[in-house]
Chains A and B, each alone.
Chain A
Amino acid sequence: MLSTTMSRAVNSPELINGDSIFHRLSFTSAILIFLVLIGIIISLIDGGWQALTEFGPGFVFRNVWDTVNSDFGAAAAIYGTLVSSLIAIVIAIPVGLGTAIFLAELAPGWISRPVSMAIELLAAVPSIIYGMWGLFVFAPWFSEGFQFWALENLVDLPLIGPWFDGPPIGIGLLTAGIILSFMILPIITALTRDALKTIPNVVREAAYGVGATPYEVITRVLLPSIKNAAVGAGILGLGRALGETMAVAFVIGGASRIETSLFMPASSISSTIAQQFNEATNEMHISALISLGLVLFVLTFIVMGAARLLLKKKS
């Protein structure tokens, strides 16, 4: 296919012309994206310069966010971002994978089609809706349905006990993580389901042919062959979780501190920016918020890079 178009392109002058235009056009688009990226980095550094020079590289590690005395550090926001995203991933990957396996391998068509559609619709719900729903519907339910129970039964457990020692108000780091997991579930499910569907039926038939049970076919044959796709889906989900703003802002509680308890209010980088930027008047405050943006940029870059590296090693 490729070779025929190429030879035709060589033979006919008009097509050469069209090709070179197309080449230039796509090249410009690619460069444009690159330039925009560089532009964003430069403007973030420029806007955050005041805070970055004032607090130095320590900005990232300082656990203080005092708008009254203009003393800023990103540690609490970074912590909140990472932990809420981690919770989301820990919940969404097994659930997403399970859903995908069910839809692609086990469910009859009349179930899998409407369920698939429902999951895709979930991806189309705007994040503010998740935020409102999280605050007004999920949080009260979570408070009464889980947190009171956890306070009585889980707090005394070794190691994980302190995670559940906090006010049972329905919001906080854990709630944010759970809401995030709903939001990244569709992308993880859809990608792994599609990956499962690309496995030729011959593979399944061969496995069943040697006497494997459905469980063995799924865990020994199908899952290993979609490992990369599953990790890739996880990375995309993580990317969304790290940067998610409005839904988190509604349910995380907006407290710039680091606590062991997952029930305590916390803050993430993006929610801090969204909630404080509008009313920030102090120049150092604005600069610190822009620096936070830069930190999120770098953080996402590092996480994505690490995940990509992991993917490379595995394949």
Chain B
Amino acid sequence: MKLLKSVLISSLLAAASFSASAKTEIINGAGASFPHPIYAKWAEEYQKETGIRINYQAIGSGGGIRQITAKTVDFGASDAPLDVKKLAKEDMIQFPMVMGAIVPVINVPGIEPGALKLTGKILADIYMGNIKKWNDERISALNPGVNIPNQAIYVVHRSDGSGTTYNFTDYLSRVSSEWKENIGKNTDITWPKKATTIGGNGNAGVANFVRRTRGAIGYVEYAYAKQNSLTYTQLASADGKFLQPNMDTFQAAAANADWANAPGFRLLLNNQPGADSWPMTAATFILMHKDQKNAKKAQHIIDFFEWSYEKGGDFAVGLDYIPMPEAVVEMVENVWKKDLTTDGKTIIK
């Protein structure tokens, strides 16, 4: 009883302090879980500087799109960009906020991180079950001098729907026509039956199975591979050069991408041109309605994004995200100026 009382009192106190602080403006956003750590970090730092609170809920891209369409949040976030038709229909703008990279991780006895070379085509064949052993001649041919054991391959994938799977399967669709025709891309797909597959829940689940299962290969966000010291592999760029996954090759992918010719910034960064472009790089997007009811609030939202672009880069790198290149930021700012309106008048000066 005493416990109950103290719980009641403390929750009342919490509620009281909450309503007191609710006077400061709160900007609500919801969506993709992949950028959640960096959005949360930016929100925290931004609040320290300006007092404006950003409340971001990582409910998943699908949820983010539904919420912003229903106008229950001020901005939505999605890993997969909406197509231009849907944007026009909902009268929304879309822009890339930050980028991440996906890396293949393996567990093959005797092979060090970054030692094994793979191409996208081989990756697709492994995930389709066309290559079932690590010492398959196509892998050996790429890796002379690496002692690869005769070991069955276990393919690890995300069992939950995720933007990571969307981008990974998009990459495989780009490099393998067989994958594109038979399997396709989505946040969650029917994995080929020919391969021996293991489904892991979230990045943590995939990382766990790869670390534990001898002969496993999986795909995780770079931050995850790095923080868990997983054995990542090299991957061939679109131009055929073998690359190590690191900030330089990720940034090259972003810089070489042709954003200017992508309406609605609808651009997936996989397999971009440029010898040094890491082939599995992905931006994550923000969605906002063009017509804003509250011009002051819209200005505050944009202020936050602008601050994140300009001052948030170091935080992003610290969390293993890739900041947007300046040229892209300029394009995004132009879209803000042109498209965000209230009663037909533009908001951003």
Chain A residues with CB under 8 Å of chain B are 64-69, 131, 135-136, 140, 143, 167, 169-171, 249-250, 252-257, 265, 267, 274-282, 286
Residues of B within 8 A of A131 (CB): 201
How far does the alpha carbon of A135 sit from the alpha carbon of B154 in the complex, in Å? Answer: 17
B188-A67 in contact (CB<8A): yes
Cβ-neighbour of A265 out of B80, B187, B198 (below 8 A):
B198
Extra A-B contacts (13), CB below 8 Å, given A167-B154, A169-B209, A254-B201: A65-B190, A143-B212, A249-B201, A253-B197, A255-B199, A256-B190, A265-B199, A275-B161, A276-B161, A277-B161, A280-B161, A281-B187, A286-B62
Minimal beta-carbon separation of A239 from chain B (angstroms): 24
Rounded to whole angstroms, the CA-CA distance of A64 and B205 in the bound complex is 25
Is B80's CB under 8 angstroms from A281's CB? yes
Say yes or no: B189 contacts A67, CB within 8 Å. yes
- 28 sampled A-B residue pairs with Cβ under 8 A: A67-B186, A68-B183, A68-B185, A135-B208, A167-B154, A167-B196, A169-B154, A169-B198, A170-B212, A171-B198, A252-B199, A253-B198, A254-B158, A254-B159, A255-B199, A265-B199, A274-B160, A275-B160, A275-B161, A275-B188, A277-B63, A278-B33, A278-B61, A278-B63, A279-B61, A279-B161, A279-B162, A281-B78
Interface of B, secondary structure class, is: loop
Q: How far is the CA of A64 from the CA of B193 in the complex (A)?
A: 13
A278 to chain B: closest CB distance in Å? 3
Return the contact of A68 from the options B60, B190, B213 (Cβ within 8 A): B190
Q: Which residues of B are interface residues toward A (Cβ below 8 A)?
A: 33, 59-63, 65, 78-80, 154, 158-163, 166, 183-191, 193, 196-199, 201, 205, 208-209, 212-213
Query: What DSSP secondary structure best describes chain A's contact surface?
Result: loop
Q: Is the CB of A279 within 8 A of B187?
A: yes
User: A68 to B61, Cβ gap below 8 A?
Assistant: no
CA distance A122 to B61 in the complex (A): 35
A274 to B60, CA, bound (A): 11
Q: Please name all residues of chain A whose beta carbon is closer than 8 Å to the beta carbon of B213 when the two chains form the complex.
A: 169
| A144→B198 CA distance, assembly (Å) | 16
When chains A and B are docked, how far (Å) is the Cα of A212 from the Cα of B71? Answer: 73
Q: Which residue of B lies closest to A266 (CB)?
A: B199
| B169 closest partner in A (C-beta) | A68
Which of A250, A256, A267 gathers most chain B CB within 10 Å? A250
Known: A136-B208, A169-B154, A257-B193. Is A279-B62 also a contact (CB below 8 A)? yes
